[in-house]
Amino acid sequence: MTSRKVPRPPDDESALFREAIGAVRELPAAPAPVSRPRPEPRPRMAERDERQALGEFHRLLEEGPLEAADSLRYRRDEVSPRLLRRLARGHYAVQDELDLHHADAAQAETWLRRFIAEARASGYGCVRIVHGKGLHADGAPALKNLVDRLLRQRADVLAFHSAPAAQGGTGAVLVLLRAR
C-alpha cells in the first residue's frame, strides 16, 4: 500500500492566497469623488398652500366683495361637485346653528372661529351660519364677506353653500365640516 501524502490546508487562508498571487504593487490613491452639495429641502406642502391662498386672494380681488343677493359657494378639490349641489339643495341635516345678526366684525370673527371649533369637536358634519343679507349695510355686506373669507381659509371646512330659501337663502350658509 502506498500512502499518498494529502496536503494539509494552511491555518491562514489569506497567507495561502498571498503566496499564490505573488508580489503585488499598490495602486496610487484615487482622489475622493467630488461631492455635489445636496439640494435644499423644499417645503412642497407650504408652497402648495401659498399658491392656493394667492389664487384665492387674486380671485377675491377680481370679483370684488359679495353683494347682498350673491350666493356663497366653495368646495375643496377633494369634494365632488355633486356633494356641493346636494348641500345647496339642503340635503344634509343641520346639526347646529350660529346667528351673527347684530354682531360687529370682530365679534363675528371670534364667534365664528369658536363655533366651528366646537362643532368639529362635537363631531358635527353640517352646520348653518346665519350672517344676514346685509341689506341695511352701507356698501357690501360686511358679515357675509367675512364669513366667506374665514370659511375659505379653514382646513376643517370641506365645502359651503348659501342655504336654500326655506333655510335662510343668501342670508345663511350651510357648511360641511371635515370629520375629526
- Domain spans in the chain, listed from the N-terminal domain onward: 78-168
Write down the pLDDT at residue 1.
54
Span of 2-6, 22-26, 84-88 with lowest mean pLDDT: 2-6
Which pLDDT band, with edges at 50, 70 and 90, does 173 fall under?
very high
Stretch 126-150: mean pLDDT, rounded? 82
62-66 — which CB contacts under 8 Å span 24+ positions?
64/140, 65/139, 65/140, 65/141, 65/145, 66/140, 66/141, 66/144, 66/145, 66/148
Q: How many CB atoms lie within 10 A of CB 156?
A: 14
Domain 78-168 has CATH 3.30.420.40: no
Write down the pLDDT at residue 24.
83
pLDDT tens string 6-58:
565 556 888 888 888 888 888 888 888 888 888 888 899 988 888 887 777 77
